[in-house]
Structure 1
Amino acid sequence: MERFTLAQAADWTKGDAVGEAELTAVTTDSRQIPPEALFLPIRGERFDAHDFMEKAIADGAAAVVSHRKKEQYAVPALYVENTSQALLDLAGGYRRMCGGKVIGVTGSVGKTTTKELLYAVLSQKFRACKTEGNLNNEVGLPLTLLRMTRETEVMVAEMGMNHFGEISRMTAAARPDIAVITNIGTSHIEFLGSREGICKAKLEILEGLRPDGCAVFCGDEPLLWEKRESLGCRVCTYGIENPACDLTAHLHEDGTFDIVNNSLPCQTLGRGEKFKAALAIPGAHNVLNALAAAAVGLLLGEAPEQIAAGLASYRASGVRQNIYDKNGYHIYADCYNASPDAMEATLRVLGTMAPEGRRFAVLGSMLELGEYAEEGHRRAGRAAAAYADALYAYGPDAAAMAAGARACGMEQVYTFSDHAALVAALQRDAKKGDALLFKGSHGMKMERALRLFLGEDVEE
């Protein structure tokens, strides 16, 4: 992080500084106080980190931010109306000080994979940084921006949300040069009411777009496509099914694909020209994510060979889109999160696995679907019937998932309310050479079921 002063922080946040300090770190965690750190406490629903102010000071905080204006501290202090907003404002001012470009990424499905592919591609040419882990909310996004330095040429910043207004506040801090929206699904429909509501919330990212910035959309999504000419900014589109998109992909049977420039304004790939690319992760949905990364790379002047190398270099790991063999089984672990759209995409991949074995869909319930929960889970069940040989449904909505599968003629359908029973049934039925997909919302802890199935250590 670059050095800044408490006076600069006061200017960025419109706060009042008492005392002077030079700072090289910002932390919201009183347990982690780096040297020359500004401690910025956040008030949450169940706690107020202001209560740990004295501990942070004792542990070496060089200065603090506070909305308790009557309190005095033993170190320089910055008094603000709201520390959560101050964190965003601080990050926004710091981002402007550092310069560099910011690529904002949001969407219902695929934004994290797209973020990783963007980083893999852009790192081929630029000094790039990215959102680490799942730091994509109103605390994680500003902390990501605060990792920039004056040497950072491109920051890839993921923006997630559950409610209206969240992306609006984040994009005001990030001021993206390019804003990517991967798609409009049904994630968080409980809070946003409809897919139109979700689209409206995702489009908030354009509110912070720089005047000369560009929006990059998936043109296969009708809700985005129909709005492309009414958004008041430059828009570039990519897609597989929509041939009118600026950048398209032609898929080949060997898993490679051609990236074709129909009308994307760039210097390194002429209109009508194409280049071949490949991914180490499967699925047409990931080709769409790759197209988003390719579009941004081309807009920023990368050569096709750099983009192809970046796409090929990305490897999934952990419990997100990770396909591997273990104990004689083909495992597809994608347990980080789930929505009906993501379920269908991963099940389609499962359908291509284990040509000589059977395919098991081990699916946990999807959360935050509200009134759409019944139909969303039935839809997942129907997709399981289309692409799997057996469905093992877990969680509070397992019955709806099972009903959708049975309505499509699937016979081997089972529901479970605990991991132990689920794993016992799987270990009884699955044979060496079979493929098993483990997927569900994070709260379903399907990665725990996977570890139990593989005989790995599991924390109780």
Structure 2
Amino acid sequence: MERFTLREAAAWTQGEATGDAELTGISTDSRQIGENTLFVPICGERFDAHDFIRKAIDNGAAAVVSHRENETYRVPALHVKNTAQALLDLAGGYRDKCGGKVVGVTGSVGKTTTKELLYAVLREHFHAQKTEGNLNNEIGLPLTLFTMTRKTEVLVAEMGMNHFGEISRMTAAAKPDLAVITNIGTSHIEFLGSREGICKAKLEILEGLKPGGCAVLCGDEPLLWEKRAALPCSVVTYGIENHACSLIAHLHEDGTFDIVNNSLPCDTLPVGRKFTASLSLPGAHNVLNALAAAAVGLLMGETPEEIARGLASYEASGMRQNIYERDGFTIFADCYNASPDAMEATIKVLGTMSAGGRRFAVLGSMLELGAYAKEGHQRAGRAAAQFADALYAYGPDADEMVAGAKERGMENAFAFSDQRALADALRRDAQPGDALLFKGSRGMQMERALALFLGEDVEE
């Protein structure tokens, strides 16, 4: 982190500093205090970290932020109206101090994969950084911005949300030069009311665009396509089905795809020209994510060779879209999260797997769907009936997934309320040569069901 002073922090937050200090770190955890660190206490639902200010000072904090009135501390302090907003304001000021460009990424489905693909592409030409893990909320986004230095040429910043206003506050701090919206799905529809509401919340990312900034939108998403002309910034679109997009892809049977410049303004790929790329990730939905990364790369002056090399270098790992062989089975682990749109796209990929064996869709319930829960889970069941040979559903909405599958004629559709029972049934029914997809919302912990199926030790 670049050095800054408490006086600078006061200007960024419009707060009042008592004393000054030179700082090279910011922490929201009183237990993780390094040298020259500013401690920023955040109020949570179950605790107020202001109660740990003195502990942070004991641990070596050089200065603290506080919105408690009439409290004094034995180190310099920055008094603000609200520490959560101050954290964002600090990040915004620090982002300006470092310079460099920021690419903001949001969307209902695919934003994390798109973030990773953007980073893979941009690091081919730039000193690039990215959001790590799930630091994509109003605390994680500032912490990501604080990782920038003057050497950072571009930062890829993921922004997630559950409610209106969250992305608005994050983008005000991030001040992106380019803002990518991958799609408008049904994630968090419980809080946002409708897909129109979700679209409105996602478009908040454009509020923080730097002057001359550009929106990079998926043109295969009708809600984004119809709003493009009314947006107060330049717009670039990408798509597979919508051939009027600025950048499009033509898919080949061998898994490669051509990226064609219809009208995207760039110097390295003239309009009408194309280049071929490939991905280790399966599915047309991931080609869309790759197109977003390609569009940003071209806008930032990268060559087709650099973009193709970056896309080919990306490898999935962990709980996201990880496909591997184990004990004769093809395992497709995508357990990090789920929504009806993502579930349907992933089940469609399962349909392309295991030509010689059967395909098992092992699906956990999807959360935060509100009134759309019944239809969303039945939709997943119908997709399973179309692209899989058997459905093993787990969680509070498992019966709805089974109902959707049986509506489309699938006989081998079963609901479970216990993961051990599910794993036992899978071990009985699945045979080497079969392909198994494990997917569900994070709260369903479908990686646990996978571990049980593989005979691994699992904590109760």
**TM-score bracket for this pair, using the shorter chain length:** over 0.9
Partners of 1:280 and 1:260 lie apart in 2 by 20
User: Counterpart in 2 of 1:80?
Assistant: 80
Tell me the residue number matched to 1:128. Answer: 128
Q: Counterpart in 2 of 1:90? A: 90
Other-structure match for 1:245: 245
Deviations along 1:56-94, one digit per CA (max 9) or x if unpaired, are: 110111100011121111111001110000000000000
1:192 Cα deviation after fit: 0.3
Matches within 5 A, 1:276-291: 276-291=276-291
Aligned twin of 1:409: 409
1:42 aligns with 2:39: no
Please give the TM-score of this superposition, normalised by the length of structure 1.
1.00
Match of 1:429 in 2: 429
Secondary structure at 2:271's aligned position in 1? coil
2:108 aligned with 1:108, yes or no?
yes
SS class of match (2:302): coil
Secondary structure of the corresponding residue to residue 248 of structure 1? strand
Q: What is the aligned partner in structure 2 of residue 420 from structure 1?
A: 420
Q: How far off is 1:459 after superposition?
A: 2.4
Give the CA deviation at 1:455: 1.5
Distance in 1 between residues matched to 2:43 and 2:261, nearest whole Å: 48
Secondary structure at the residue paired with 2:357? coil
1:129-172 deviation digits (Å, cap 9, x = unpaired)? 00000000000001000100001000000000000000000000
Displacement, 1:457? 2.5
Tell me, in whole angstroms, the C-alpha distance in 2 between the residues paired with 1:243 and 1:298.
18
1:305 aligns with 2:305: yes
Separation in structure 1 between the aligned mates of residue 455 and residue 99 of structure 2, nearest angstrom: 49
Q: Which amino acid in the other structure matches residue 28 of structure 1? A: T
**Deviation, structure 1 residue 34:** 1.2
List runs of 5+ in structure 2 lacking aligned partners: none
Distance (whole Å) between structure 2 residues aligned to residue 32 and residue 222 of structure 1: 46
State the match for 2:341 in structure 1. 341
Residue 422 of structure 2: SS of its match in structure 1?
Answer: helix
* Alpha-carbon offset, residue 125 of structure 1: 0.2
Give matches, 1:336-415, under 5 Å.
336-415=336-415
> Partners in 1 of 2:182 and 2:224 — Cα distance?
10
Q: Are residue 188 (structure 1) and residue 188 (structure 2) matched?
A: yes
Query: How far apart are the structure 2 equivalents of 1:157 and 1:344?
Result: 26
In 2, Cα distance between the equivalents of 1:47 and 1:326? 44
CA drift at 1:456: 1.8
What are the ranges of 5 or more consecutive residues in structure 1 without an aligned counterpart?
none
Structure 2 letter corresponding to 1:277: A
2:31 corresponds in structure 1 to 31
Q: Distance in 2 between matches of 1:169 and 1:67?
A: 19
**Alignment partners' CA distance in 2, 1:268 and 1:455:** 51
| Cα separation, 2, equivalents of 1:93 and 1:218 | 31
Amino acid at match of 1:263: S
User: In the alignment, what sits opposite 2:168?
Assistant: 168
Structure-2 separation of matches of 1:46 and 1:14 = 28
Q: 1:315 deviation in Å?
A: 0.4
Distance 2:194 2:42 in 1: 31
**1:30 to partner: Cα distance:** 1.0
Q: Distance in 2 between matches of 1:120 and 1:36?
A: 33
Equivalent residue letter for 1:312: A
Secondary structure of 2:424's aligned partner: helix
Worse overlay, 264-273 or 446-455: 446-455
Distance 2:368 2:120 in 1: 31
d(CA) in 1 for partners of 2:454, 2:5: 52
Equivalent position of 1:17 in the other structure? 17
Which residue pairs with 2:229 in the alignment?
229
- After superposition, the C-alpha distances for 1:24-79 in whole angstroms (9 at most, x for unaligned) are 00000111111110000100111111111111110111100011121111111001
TM-score (structure 2 length as normaliser): 1.00
Equivalent position amino acid for 1:394 in 2: Y
Partner-residue secondary structure (3-state), 1:226: helix
Q: Distance in 1 between matches of 2:36 and 2:371?
A: 49
Provide the aligned C-alpha RMSD in A.
0.5
User: Counterpart of 2:173 in 1: which secondary structure?
Assistant: helix
Aligned residue type for 2:64? V
Cα offsets for 1:300-339 (capped at 9, x unmatched)? 0000000000000000001100000011110000000000
Q: Distance in 2 between matches of 1:280 and 1:378?
A: 30
Moved more, 68-77 or 370-379: 68-77
The offset of 1:409, in angstroms, is: 0.1
What pairs with 1:240-279 in structure 2 (closer than 5 Å)?
A: 240-279=240-279
Letter in 1 for 2:396: P
Name the residue aligned to 2:452: 452
The reply on whether 1:324 has 2:314 as its aligned counterpart is no
Distance of 1:229 and 1:64 partners within structure 2: 46
1:196-218 deviation line (CA, Å, top 9, x unaligned)? 00000000000001110000000
The amino acid that maps onto 2:244 is A
- Give the whole-Å Cα distance in 1 for the aligned partners of 2:89 and 2:443: 32
1:99, CA displacement in angstroms? Answer: 0.4
Q: Distance in 2 between matches of 1:227 and 1:217?
A: 10
Q: Could you say which residue in structure 1 is the equivalent of 2:211?
A: 211
For 1:249 and 1:31, the matched residues in 2 are separated by: 49
Shift of 1:233: 0.6
Tell me how many residue pairs correspond in the alignment: 460
Corresponding letter in the other structure for 1:417? S
1:348 Cα deviation from its structure 2 partner: 0.6
SS of 2:447's equivalent?
helix
Equivalent position amino acid for 2:213 in 1:
G
Distance 1:69 1:454 in 2: 56
Q: Secondary structure at the match of 2:383?
A: helix
Aligned mates of 1:52, 1:452 — CA distance in 2: 40
Amino acid at match of 1:344: E
Q: Give yes or no for the alignment of 1:292 onto 2:292.
A: yes
